[in-house]
Amino acid sequence: MKTKTALFCLIIFLSILPSFIVGQEQEDKFIWLEEVESEKSLDWVKDQNKKTTDVLKSQPEFKDIYDKTLKIYNSKDRIAYPSIKGNYIYNFWKDEKNKRGIWRRTTINEYLGEKIKWETVLDLDVLSEKENENWAYKGATFLYPGFERCMIKLSRGGSDAVEMREFDLVKKDFVKDGFFVPQSKGSVSWVDKNTLIINTNFGEGTMTISGYPRISKIWKRGTPISKAKILFEGNEKDLGIWGSAEYTVKRTYIIVYQAITFYTSKKYVLEDGKLI
């Protein structure tokens, strides 16, 4: 009995020992990696990537697996996943000819046919070359109910931070002097053609410790982003704050999602000028 008790106590001690160790202050030798875009950090990442790639390439199965996987990614038989917006079906497509990808659309009748005729809306390879940037497409937020405008999200090199620009889906071009949100982790949502809900980095103290927006604002066309009105302000320790618009035939609802932790959250709806 004493042996079992001693063993049980030892197990408990070992289970809580890491918490004591973690609680002690220790020097972080890699704190400099927090500067994710610094030359030193990027060089370190490239070096680690090379070490990994060298190990993978040294395996006898590597070439065969690589060629098979590349063939699948470039296959023309892949399903062009549909995103239905109004009278069009949109799809983002990458292959050996479109390395950064093309955002394209077709009609529903065309999509259901045997051979789809696609219309290119935005070519990321052309845009990247024109602007000398490594653009990656990260999605679009459409203006309801006409879907004639959208806010396109562009990421440099595929990072989580995105630049958001207003795009005319009739002219298939960016709107001159349209809505523009500088690079940041965040999102936007249309209230109407001249109003956006924006969740972004508004400056010092406006992001959570997790690196997501802490404040959601309502931004009117023709006014500077600095004059956008606060819709909701969360806490620094929240995971993030996201305001958005939800559409029904009768009205548009303005919703705020407050992610307190990864598993806990609160939701608010704007009613008669108040969040409830």
Q: Quick one: pLDDT band at residue 17, thresholds 50, 70, 90?
A: low
What proportion of the chain, given as a percentage, has pLDDT over 90?
83
- Give me the pLDDT at residue 37, please: 76
For the chain, give the mean pLDDT: 92
Q: Quick one: pLDDT band at residue 130, thresholds 50, 70, 90?
A: very high
- Give me the pLDDT at residue 13, please: 58
Q: Quick one: pLDDT band at residue 3, thresholds 50, 70, 90?
A: low
- Give me the pLDDT at residue 22, please: 53
- The Cα 253–Cα 276 span in angstroms is 12
φ, ψ of residue 12 to 5 degrees: the values are -60, -45
Sign of the CA dihedral 166, 150, 184, 265?
positive
- The Cα 211–Cα 45 span in angstroms is 21
- The Cα 72–Cα 95 span in angstroms is 10
Q: What is the pLDDT of residues 42-85, one digit of tens each?
A: 999 999 999 999 999 999 999 999 999 999 988 888 899 999 99
Whether the link from the prior residue into 213 is cis, omega within 30° of 0, is: no
- The pTM assigned to this predicted structure is 0.79
